[in-house]
Structure 1
Amino acid sequence: MNELEQFRKTFFEECEELLQRFEQLALDLSPGPIDREVMGEIFRSVHSIKAGAGAFGFHRLVAFSHDFETFLDQARQDGATLTPSDPALIVQAGDILADLVACARQGDDAPEGHETQMLTRIQDRLGRETSEAADVEAAEIKAAPRDFCVRFKPFASLYDCANEPQLLLRALEGLGACRITPVLDDIPTLDDISGEGGHLSWTIELRGVETEDAIREIFEFVEDECELTITALETDADVPQNDTPARVSAIETGSAPDVSPERSLSTPQSVNRGQVTSIRVDLDRIDRLVDMVGELVIAQSMALESISQELGIGNIRHLQNLEDLALRTRQLQEGVMAVRMQPLKALFSRFPRVVRDLSGKLGKSVELVLEGEATEVDKTIIEELSDPLTHMIRNCIDHGLEDPSARVAAGKPEQGTIRLTAEQRNGRILIRVSDDGRGLDPDKVLAKAVEKGLVSPDEELGSDDIENLIFMPGFSTASSVSDVSGRGVGMDVVRSNIHKLGGRVSVESRVGKGTSFTLALPLTLAVLDGMLVKAAGEKYVLPLSAIIETVCPEPGQLREVPGGGQVLAVRGEVIRLVPVDQVLGQNHENPDTHQRGLVVICETEMGRKTGLVVDELLGQQQVVIKSLETNYRRISGVAGTAILGDGRVRLILDIDGIAAIDTTRSETEEFARSA
């Protein structure tokens, strides 16, 4: 990738962040007196996009941004207020801005006239008089070029951000006749010089410059990283003299960048500068690093196991060194994995706009409540959650929430509420989307499923089975097809996408009270702290975070269940037992061995307890997760695979999947059907 392409990529990444922040702030605007700080931040977002777009020659993006920022600049003045139509105008103009950025990023031209209507609305809002006055002022400024003296002293933080003063000085040459003189007075002696300080500075004499703003535009991206003083000159005597020989730059003709005459000209003379605390790294690089560290962990585990068998107690120092190596490797792995973890805030921030637009289209009043935005999840998982959550929120607004009149008749507030929450539990992330609407009517759901031929009319289904019918392909309760719903593909897509991530989706509903969808997903797709167990001669890995305790049951604690199966009574609590060897189709030499074995009591994602019957605990171990679905196919009760120190591939058990398998069937029926 060449240098220019790298700069372009960085520009579009910054645009994405700026547009995201713009939308967050714009959605909270309301008619009336404005908050100058909020409006100022919205203005700076648009202005920063315009400045970068001008550097890369995206002329349509620059033209639209210029008119848009002119309106925003007027709106942020003292005493300004927003009319009832202004908030919607700002949000919709932001959409056009995002469209133009997306087209520029893809190297395509936006449809002809895509922004014309919005520009007309903005110009009408500004008023023809304002535009004419601005044209007169710009013409006057352009007709009277002036001379300036610029003092430019970079701070150390400017160099830390990989900015080059030389490029800024070259850009000044395009504004007019230019003479650059280095200032050497501030350079310390060789003994006192520090590699971390910014010691160089320059005095630049510029002749025939159209506006002071043209100079400030060049320093816009580094204005917080330097000391900048711009002085208008009347005579040659105004130029600061310096005994240092001057470097006279070659004069190049060029036009000044697009400017905003209303821009404030004040620049702080001295500001506390912090150090750079973050960098951008391609996700592909991080993925390769995670894979390499994973392979390192596997190699270290295999080496540790083989060497440990050869060393006796007399080699205690060597054993300690091996354990220290294992500890350092684990810390390295955890550090690399932390790089991939990101808070859900960036994902959740997209949905206020979804709720606002759809509720307006459907004529419903909806409040969106967000909780758990700081919960961190693997970056790969976050990217795959946008579409499923959008489908679920749209489903809640369209199908779940009643019309305002129906809510009032039912004794509910006219405004409906949708909650989007996230939390960590048992090493997994739980994301819930719930509403306080009408809930699912089991009779209506079942009747629709029968009508569409998804289930047989004489098939007996429990309440949970009926609720899960909404995830079947082709199911929809909508009476007609619209651009919001009715085709029966949304919830099926949700379940399919969540399964691809190694998760599951469930639904709970109460008629008249509302519906709650729960997504259960792994925190990361790479590593797992596990407990190694043995059942019927095979080794398996259980997620350590799901284990509550291990029990050696006494005969009096076991109870037979009518129809087959056993439960365990522990401290007044009855826990269903699931023999691991039976549900995975393993033939045990002694069918009654599990009665004398161990019961590992685990907690499912929904808080229920299940006892997994195994023969032996082999110890705790961190393993690298390998997808079984990618390399083979999805199997019920199996979350993935891991390569252990002996080089063998072992199954990582899915606690909820194992607990859901019907143990009253034959030993191999369920597992064979999955595999």
Structure 2
Amino acid sequence: MDEFEQFRQTFFEECAELLEHLEEATSSLLPGQNDPDVLDRMFRAVHSIKAGAGAFKFERLVRFSHEFETVMDLVRSERILLDDDDPDFLLRCSDVLHSLVSAAQNGVEAAEGVEHEALEDLKDMAKRASDTPDMPLDLIIPQADCDTTEKRFTLHFRPHRGLYESANEPYLLIDALAGLGALTVKADVSAIPEFKDFHPEEAYLAWDMDLLAVCNEGDIREVFEFVEDECDLTITCIDDDVDELTDTPYVVEEKGADLTKSAPAPQAASPVKAIQALEDPNAGQNKVSSIRVDLSRVDRLVDMVGELVIAQAVALQSLEELVDIRHVRQLQSLEDLTQRTRALQEGVMAIRMQPLRAVFSRFPRVVRDIAAKLGKRVRLEIEGEGTEVDKTIIEELSDPLTHMIRNCLDHGLETPEERKAAGKPEEGVVRLTAEQRNGRILIRVGDDGRGLNPEKVLKKAKEKGLVSQDADMSKEEIENLIFLPGFSTADQVSDLSGRGVGMDVVRRNIQKLGGRIGVDSIPGQGSIFTMALPLTLAVLDGMLVSARAETYVIPLSAIVETVCPKASDLRDMPDSGQVMSLRGEVIRLIDVGTALRTDTINNVEPLRQMVVVTETELGRKIGLIVDGVLGQQQVVIKSLEVNYRAIAGVAGTAVLGDGRVRLILDVDGLSEINPPSQDAPNALKQKGMRA
């Protein structure tokens, strides 16, 4: 890949982020007054896309983004107040911009006329600026910017290395500066080192410039607006009039050489620029510097560190068998190695962590569009978007969350008339929240709508043959019927729902990520879907336990306590299961060896067995019967489904220090396994839903 192609790729990666920010900001627009920060974000996004597109000569993209930028500048300067239809129109403009960027990225021409209608509407919208009634005169023609006197400025511009790495070109900045007036440029090459000390990726050049123009410092800083944190920039205004620069062309000089270059004639500052507010010169100083790294490289690094952890565990176990108490220093060295390896692993894993904001930011637009299509008034409330999750999980969350939000809007929320008749506000509420709990991420999607009708759900399931006609089910079991393939409560098929191919796909996608999903609903008050997901798919803090001569790993985040029950604390159940009384609380017991069909005879007496009390994602306590607890260890997760097949009650596998593969237990999966019946001791019946 040549350097130019690398710059193109960087530009399109930045465009993806800018378009995401643009859509997020545009989705929050309302008619009338708006948050200036939101309008500034929209303007900056469009302006950045236009600037990059101009560098690569994407003419259609430049032309459309220029008109879009002009309108946004008029809106943020309050020369245009948004009407009722304007927010939706600007959303359509962001879609057009997305189409033009996609076409440019794929190296094809966008469909003929894809931007024509929006382009004409943008021009018409811009014309409203001069017709805006009751607009204060000082907003239309700021008195401070009416001065037509030429001013002389001296500038010192020294790019940092990051300016070049972000695909910015100093020549384009200098060329844009020349558009303000008469410009003289002197290249400062004094920082260039000897050849032996020269580094090709460092920035050694700087420029000293004189500018004579009808402008102010704000117009000059606007040229450098998006690179101010990646360069040293000094601007000084000289009040004395100097006539000798009036007819000077755009001249570029290198100290010690006679090099010149002609440039376009000086231009006066545009009316749009004349009314723009001065940007904060200190903006961007607190930004966190970052680099772009291909995800495949991070994945390889994670795999390498995972293998290092396994190798360290193998070496540690081997050495511990040879080293005794007399070798204290050696034991301390081993412990130090363990701590440093763990710190390295945590640091590498942190690279993959990203906030859920990347997913959540797209849903205001989804809610807005679907609510308009359904004729419903809906407000989306988002909390916890800063919660960080592994990037692999984030990439797989978009489709499940989109479907659940559509379900809330279509099935959950009533029409404004129905809500008013029920004594509710006409505007419905959809809540999207995220939080971290016990090493897991809980994402909830809820609404304050009609909720699930258990009778209707059970009736639909019986009509479709999903359950038997004489089925007697609890409320929780009935609610979980909506996750069965082919189930739908919609009375007719629409472009939003009714085909029964939604929630079962959502459940499968969540389970592939090692998570679980459940629903809780109150008729007439609403429903809440809860997804419990792992923070990462790579590492796990676990407790090693033994059962039937086998070693298993229980996630440490799921363990509450470990107890040795007395005979008086245990009770047999009619279904051959057992429960334990713990401080007045009844806890269901699951024999790990029996549940996982371990054929090895248990040589441990029942009363010498231990119970590891665990908690499911929904807060229920389950006791796992094991023969003993071996210790705590951090393990690298390996997918069992990818390498073999999915097994109920098993979340994955791990390679321990002895080199053997051990199963990582899934507490929720074990809780869904029924105890074996009397007539089928070697077969486990799966209910397919929470017990």
TM-score normalised by length of structure 2: 0.85
For each residue in 1:324-345, what CA deviation from the matched residue of structure 2 results, as whole angstroms up to 9, or x when unmatched?
Answer: 1011000100111111111112
For each residue in 1:67-91, what CA deviation from the matched residue of structure 2 results, as whole angstroms up to 9, or x when unmatched?
Answer: 1111112222256422222222222
Shift of 1:389: 0.3
Residue 203 of structure 1 aligns to which amino acid in structure 2?
A: D
For residue 373 of structure 1, give the secondary structure of its aligned residue in structure 2.
coil
* Cα distance change, pair 118–625 in 1 and its aligned pair in 2 (3 A): same
Match of 2:331 among 306, 314, 319: 319
Q: Distance in 2 between matches of 1:470 and 1:255?
A: 69
Residue 222 of structure 1 aligns to which amino acid in structure 2?
A: V
Do the aligned partners of 1:24 and 1:349 also contact (CA within 8 Å) in 2? Answer: yes
Q: Distance in 1 between matches of 2:265 and 2:59?
A: 14
Shift of 1:603: 0.7
| CA-atom RMSD in angstroms | 3.9
Question: What residue number does 1:511 align with?
Answer: 523
Question: What residue number does 1:472 align with?
Answer: 484
Give matches, 1:1-16, under 5 Å: 1-16=1-16
Question: What residue number does 1:227 align with?
Answer: 233
User: 1:554 aligned to 2:566?
Assistant: yes
* Cα distance change, pair 609–667 in 1 and its aligned pair in 2 (3 A): farther
Give matches, 1:300-311, under 5 Å: 300-311=312-323
Structure 1 gap segments, 5+ residues each? 132-146, 188-196
Give matches, 1:504-653, under 5 Å: 504-590=516-602, 593-653=605-665
Do the aligned partners of 2:157 and 2:206 also contact (CA within 8 Å) in 1? Answer: yes
For residue 532 of structure 1, give the secondary structure of its aligned residue in structure 2.
strand
Match of 1:403 among 396, 415, 439: 415
Give matches, 1:142-157, under 5 Å: 151-154=154-157
Question: What residue number does 1:203 align with?
Answer: 208
Q: Distance in 2 between matches of 1:480 and 1:237?
A: 75
Give matches, 1:344-355, under 5 Å: 344-355=356-367
For residue 605 of structure 1, give the secondary structure of its aligned residue in structure 2.
coil
Do the aligned partners of 2:676 and 2:682 also contact (CA within 8 Å) in 1? Answer: no
Q: Distance in 2 between matches of 1:97 and 1:17?
A: 13
For each residue in 1:175-222, what CA deviation from the matched residue of structure 2 results, as whole angstroms up to 9, or x when unmatched?
Answer: 7998643469999xxxxxxxxx9997433479999x999998874542
Question: What residue number does 1:108 align with?
Answer: 108
Q: Distance in 2 between matches of 1:370 and 1:227?
A: 40
For each residue in 1:428-475, what CA deviation from the matched residue of structure 2 results, as whole angstroms up to 9, or x when unmatched?
Answer: 111111112112222222332333333343444443333222222222
For each residue in 1:261-293, what CA deviation from the matched residue of structure 2 results, as whole angstroms up to 9, or x when unmatched?
Answer: 522599889758457532222211111111000
For residue 564 of structure 1, give the secondary structure of its aligned residue in structure 2.
coil
* Cα distance change, pair 594–152 in 1 and its aligned pair in 2 (3 A): farther
Question: What residue number does 2:682 align with?
Answer: 668
Match of 1:181 among 183, 186, 193: 186
Shift of 1:616: 0.8
Question: What residue number does 1:490 align with?
Answer: 502
For residue 529 of structure 2, give the secondary structure of its aligned residue in structure 1.
strand
Do the aligned partners of 1:599 and 1:612 also contact (CA within 8 Å) in 2? Answer: yes
Q: Distance in 1 between matches of 2:247 and 2:211?
A: 12
Q: Distance in 1 between matches of 2:389 and 2:308?
A: 23
User: 1:262 aligned to 2:262?
Assistant: no
Do the aligned partners of 2:440 and 2:535 also contact (CA within 8 Å) in 1? Answer: yes
User: 1:393 aligned to 2:411?
Assistant: no
For residue 636 of structure 1, give the secondary structure of its aligned residue in structure 2.
coil
Do the aligned partners of 1:180 and 1:248 also contact (CA within 8 Å) in 2? Answer: no
Q: Distance in 1 between matches of 2:251 and 2:487?
A: 81
* Cα distance change, pair 493–250 in 1 and its aligned pair in 2 (3 A): farther
Residue 566 of structure 2 aligns to which amino acid in structure 1?
A: E
* Cα distance change, pair 657–326 in 1 and its aligned pair in 2 (3 A): same
Question: What residue number does 1:144 align with?
Answer: none
User: 1:361 aligned to 2:366?
Assistant: no
Question: What residue number does 1:286 align with?
Answer: 298
Residue 261 of structure 2 aligns to which amino acid in structure 1?
A: I
* Cα distance change, pair 461–483 in 1 and its aligned pair in 2 (3 A): same
Question: What residue number does 1:445 align with?
Answer: 457
* Cα distance change, pair 514–28 in 1 and its aligned pair in 2 (3 A): same
For residue 32 of structure 1, give the secondary structure of its aligned residue in structure 2.
coil
Question: What residue number does 1:370 align with?
Answer: 382
Do the aligned partners of 1:227 and 1:270 also contact (CA within 8 Å) in 2? Answer: no
Do the aligned partners of 1:533 and 1:542 also contact (CA within 8 Å) in 2? Answer: yes
Question: What residue number does 1:25 align with?
Answer: 25
Q: 169-178 vs 617-626, which deviates more?
A: 169-178
* Cα distance change, pair 256–518 in 1 and its aligned pair in 2 (3 A): farther
Q: Distance in 1 between matches of 2:453 and 2:687?
A: 32
For each residue in 1:144-191, what CA deviation from the matched residue of structure 2 results, as whole angstroms up to 9, or x when unmatched?
Answer: xxx9987442357x334446999524875797998643469999xxxx
* Cα distance change, pair 165–576 in 1 and its aligned pair in 2 (3 A): closer
Residue 105 of structure 2 aligns to which amino acid in structure 1?
A: R
Q: Distance in 2 between matches of 1:166 and 1:9?
A: 13
Q: How many residues end up aligned between the 2 structures?
A: 649
* Cα distance change, pair 155–95 in 1 and its aligned pair in 2 (3 A): same
Question: What residue number does 2:259 align with?
Answer: 249
Do the aligned partners of 2:590 and 2:624 also contact (CA within 8 Å) in 1? Answer: yes
For each residue in 1:512-560, what CA deviation from the matched residue of structure 2 results, as whole angstroms up to 9, or x when unmatched?
Answer: 2221111111110000000000000000000011111110111111112
Do the aligned partners of 2:154 and 2:210 also contact (CA within 8 Å) in 1? Answer: no
* Cα distance change, pair 235–645 in 1 and its aligned pair in 2 (3 A): same
Q: 438-447 vs 62-71, which deviates more?
A: 438-447
Residue 300 of structure 1 aligns to which amino acid in structure 2?
A: Q
Q: Distance in 2 between matches of 1:588 and 1:277?
A: 57
Residue 233 of structure 2 aligns to which amino acid in structure 1?
A: E
Do the aligned partners of 1:180 and 1:205 also contact (CA within 8 Å) in 2? Answer: yes
Q: 35-44 vs 283-292, which deviates more?
A: 35-44
Q: Distance in 2 between matches of 1:287 and 1:165?
A: 25
Q: Percent identity?
A: 54
Residue 56 of structure 2 aligns to which amino acid in structure 1?
A: F
* Cα distance change, pair 254–375 in 1 and its aligned pair in 2 (3 A): same
For residue 127 of structure 1, give the secondary structure of its aligned residue in structure 2.
helix
Do the aligned partners of 2:217 and 2:235 also contact (CA within 8 Å) in 1? Answer: no
Residue 515 of structure 2 aligns to which amino acid in structure 1?
A: G
Residue 114 of structure 2 aligns to which amino acid in structure 1?
A: H
User: 1:455 aligned to 2:461?
Assistant: no
